[in-house]
Chain A
Amino acid sequence: MSNAAVGLFILASYMALMLWIGLRSASAGQSNIRDYAVASSSFGIFVLTLTFCATYHSAYAFLGTTGFIYKNGIGWWVNGIWTVLPGVIFWVWGRRVWYLGQKYGYLSMGDLVTGVYGSKWLGLLVTLVGIVFTIPYIAMQAIGSGYIFQSISSGILSYEVGTFIFFTIMVLYVWMGGLRAVAWTDAAQGVWMFVMILIGGYLIALKGFGGFTPLFEQAARSAPDLFTMPGPAKAVTVADWVSRWIGILLGVMMLPQTTVRFFAGRSLRVMKWSAVMSSAYLTFLFLFTPAVGFAARLLYPDHKTPDILFPVMLLRFTPMVFASLVIAGALAASMSTGDSQLHAASILLANDVYKRHLNPKAGDARVYSVARAMVIVLGIISVAMALKRPGLLGDILAIATSGATVLVPTVVGALYWPRSTVAGALSSIILGEAAVIYTTFYNKNPFGLLPGFWGTAVSLVVFIVVSLLTKSSRATEQIVTDLNRYFAD
């Protein structure tokens, strides 16, 4: 059997396994919107931890990290701040979101914002921000997967066919089982990704250099700039360091595929321990990643696209069967984020847009049907974007994470501050997005600070000032005061 055939067989088996897990978990669910959207808030620690982590880490965890270290050295490990803190935020903010979800039946952040502020237009704005920044990301996961299929089959399967297979399987199980199917496949893919990234990194260091210390010693002699900031490309400056973790951490925590999971735990105890486990998972996943990036730099010093060097080194140092198994882990990283994004966007469109604005009288069964239909519609749109790769896709992706950071003041205000107002929230989102667009496309990274930092800073200042200048509603004061009272000692 040729190497390409072995690789394709392993990938096909992996995809078939995911489809089987997705369809099997779908059969355990109920046919209603609450089960479809948040699995009836039924997840235990194991599933909630893994679905949160597998969603949080996209294909970047597998491919992009190697490329970043290759270009920028060990300053990459600022990443650790945004792998430790997501768990803390998941618990500290997430428990309040979960409580409101239980009390008022909210299914999404748009739902929560509408309810707490009493403004459906504010809720719509939050939803639109979520949708605009999610759909291009789905296409991006498909682009990554298309390349994986193409490279592992040595070109036998084209990029287009790989993208189509990826989407067909993902759409099928999301359509069948909603969050329940997404989460169980995420759980399987989360375990797979974790094990394979660690074993893959270990084997590259061992087989290529005789272990971690010999690898790092060789790197210290031939590429010492990898060991300190700002790194070979001079990119990881003090401003970059601070603004990078703030922007990425807050941005990813505000994206809909993340916030949907705030509602999905069975209890506060489950939320809490899932949060702790998530911090550990997200951080320890990268234990050997510096070695992979350093090895890539030593072995391929002038490579044009270092993002692909992890699988390239696996194919060089490990048997084809093992390399294919690890590369299936890269597919896991893409798929576990893509399915969550597809699911979250379908909920936003069905629950927040259709139910609230287009057909308020729609019953539960109708909203459930619309959500499932949206999975297919969004799947088709994303495939089209992945195949055509329009210029706009790159522009939206450039601001996606930063663009989501501007939701932080509105959401956190709804959870903690009784003085929060609709005017404060609306103006903070609009001006925050303007700041992100300005610092991304017109005056790039002023003072070396990335757009996510500017989006967060502008939206926070505007939110506080405008809220103080305007009057909050009695309902907002009541809900937030009750929430503060409930979570006081």
Chain B
Amino acid sequence: MGKSEKWFYVILLLWLLMVNPPVVTWVNEYARSHPLTFGWPTLWVWLEFWYVAGIAGFALAAAKLPAWNRDHTGMSGRGGERS
């Protein structure tokens, strides 16, 4: 696995921290006194922000990571080497 791909997994782990306890529990506590943010449920706004950020990051990685940009062209037959 290349360095750039490793970074993707590190960022993915950080992303998971943002949408799981204890971070989500802290946001939940804040939402008790501030149920609405921008007119929508506070907890939903927090999660939605990170989900959108996660999808954007995934799209960026798909476009930029060299290891993810190689297409597979070496196999001509379908199942030529059945094990």
Chain A contact residues, CB within 8 Å of chain B: 34, 40-41, 74-75, 77, 80-81, 83-84, 87-88, 91, 98-99, 101-106, 115-116, 118, 212-213, 216-217, 220, 224, 226-229, 238, 241-242, 267-269, 272-273, 275-276, 279-280, 283, 290, 475, 479, 487-489
Contact = CB atoms under 8 A, between A and B. Distances in A.
A101 B81 CA distance: 10
A283 B83 contact: no
Nearest to B83: A115
A116 B83 contact: yes
A167 B68 CA distance: 41
Contacts of B19: 80-81
B3 to A, nearest CB: 8
Sorting the interface of chain B by its residue count into under 10, 10 to 19, 20 to 34 or 35 or more gives 35 or more
B40 to A, nearest CB: 6
Given A220-B35, A487-B67, A488-B2, 9 more contacts: A81-B51, A88-B12, A102-B72, A103-B81, A105-B80, A227-B36, A228-B32, A229-B28, A242-B21
B75 interface: yes
B40 A267 contact: no
Contacts of A267: 71-72
B21 A216 contact: no
Nearest to A118: B83
B82 A105 contact: yes
A34 B77 CA distance: 12
Contacts of B54: 84, 279
Interface string B9-26: 000100010011100110
Nearest to B54: A84
B70 A276 contact: no
Contacts of A81: 16, 19-20, 51
A40 B77 CA distance: 11
A220 B36 contact: yes
A217 B41 CA distance: 9
B36 A104 contact: no
Contacts, number: 133
A410 B61 CA distance: 27
Q: Which 4 A-B pairs have the closest CB atoms?
A: A105-B79, A489-B2, A213-B39, A227-B35
5 contacts: A41-B78, A104-B82, A104-B83, A279-B54, A283-B55
Choose among B16, B32, B72 the residue with the greatest number of A CB atoms under 10 Å from its CB.
Answer: B72
A212 B37 CA distance: 12
A84 B48 CA distance: 11
Given A105-B78, A228-B35, A488-B2, A279 B20 contact: no
Contact of B55 (A34, A84, A217): A84
Contact of B43 (A74, A213, A238): A74
Nearest to B46: A77
Contact of B21 (A102, A217, A238, A283): A238
B44 A74 contact: yes
A279 B55 contact: yes
Interface of B: 1-5, 12, 16, 19-21, 24-25, 28, 31-32, 35-36, 39-44, 47-48, 51-52, 54-55, 58-59, 62, 66-68, 70-72, 75, 78-83
Contacts of B44: 74, 77, 290
A280 B31 CA distance: 26
A316 B6 CA distance: 52
B20 A242 contact: yes
A228 B28 contact: yes
A290 B21 CA distance: 21
B24 A216 contact: no
Given A238-B25, A241-B24, A489 B66 contact: yes
B79 A228 contact: no
Nearest to B68: A272
A433 to B, nearest CB: 27
A99 B72 contact: yes
Nearest to A238: B21
A105 B51 CA distance: 36
Contact of B20 (A91, A212, A241, A283): A241
B1 A489 contact: yes
A77 B45 CA distance: 10
A447 to B, nearest CB: 14
A84 B51 contact: yes
Contacts of A487: 1, 67
B39 A217 contact: yes
A224 B43 CA distance: 13
Contacts of B1: 487-489
A74 B27 CA distance: 12
Given A77-B47, A216-B36, A489-B2, A102 B62 contact: no
Contacts of B25: 229, 238
A229 B43 CA distance: 9
A273 B62 contact: yes
Contacts of B28: 228-229
Contacts of B31: 227-228
Nearest to B33: A228
Contacts of B24: 229, 241
A182 B52 CA distance: 30
A80 B39 contact: no
